[in-house]
Amino acid sequence: MRALSEYMIAAFTASLIAGIGERIAPAGMKKYVTFIASLMLLIYLFTPIKSLGEELFHFADDVMENEEIEAPSAGAYDEVLALSRKKAEESIQKHLVERFRTQDSVAVSLTMEMKENGTILLTHISLKLSQRDMPFAEDIETYLEETFHTETSIDTSYGG
């Protein structure tokens, strides 16, 4: 708090001196004195921001030196992949039931892989349809292949 009050007193003193300098300057030099005084005050007012920024960078460096960042384990990637597969299968199944009015007996199975950069790639979609949903098989297959740009296979021996 003391540093802040000292800074404010110094800023007030500097602006007071700048004002006096502008008043006593000759008429032809007045605009130059005003410009220089304003520039100096502006620089003085931004000095704490500069030092604050430098301290933040030093703090960040200290934190990075003291903290060891561990790479995620292979198990974490497998968990993310499994959860992504489960959510995507549920979503596709729900969407097919709504879009094609299929029965709830549509089973979706996805083949996915995770790239080194963490990107999940859908490589294959397998569907199991009941005999009731067979009329939609070709439309569903075309729709999924166009939507996901991946190979789709349909097994019709599922359900009743």
Which of 63-67, 96-100, 120-124, 131-135 bottoms out in mean pLDDT, i.e. has the lowest? 63-67
The model's pLDDT over 9-64, given as tens digits with 9 standing for 90+, comes to 888 888 888 888 888 888 888 888 889 888 888 888 887 777 666 776 766 666 66
Question: What topology is assigned to 74-155 in CATH?
Answer: GMP Synthetase; Chain A, domain 3 (3.30.300)
Cβ(122)–Cβ(110) below 8 Å:
yes
d(C-alpha 81, C-alpha 78), whole Å:
5
| CB burial string 20-55: b at 16+ within 10 A, e below | eebeebeeeeeeebeeebeeeeeeeeeeeeeeeeee
Q: Which two tokens stand for residue 13?
A: 């003193």
Q: Encoding tokens for residue 125?
A: 């979609």
List, in sequence order, every beta strand (DSSP E) within the chain: 107-114, 120-128, 151-155
* Structure tokens that stand for 159 in this block: 């359900």
Cβ count near 106 (within 10 Å)? 22
Average pLDDT over residues 118-144: 84
pLDDT per residue as tens digits for the range 70-100: 666 767 788 888 888 899 888 888 888 888 8
Sheet-wide strand order for 151-155: 107-114, 120-128, 151-155
CA distance 48 to 65: 26
Query: How far is the C-alpha of 106 from the C-alpha of 133, rounded, in Å?
Result: 8
Contact 130, 103 (CB under 8 A): yes
Position 12: which residue type? F
Q: Please, which residues have CB within 8 angstroms of residue 99's CB and are 6 or more apart in sequence? A: 143
pTM for the whole structure: 0.51
Task: Please report, for the chain, the start and end positions of each structural domain, with discontinuous segments joined by +.
Answer: 2-66, 74-155
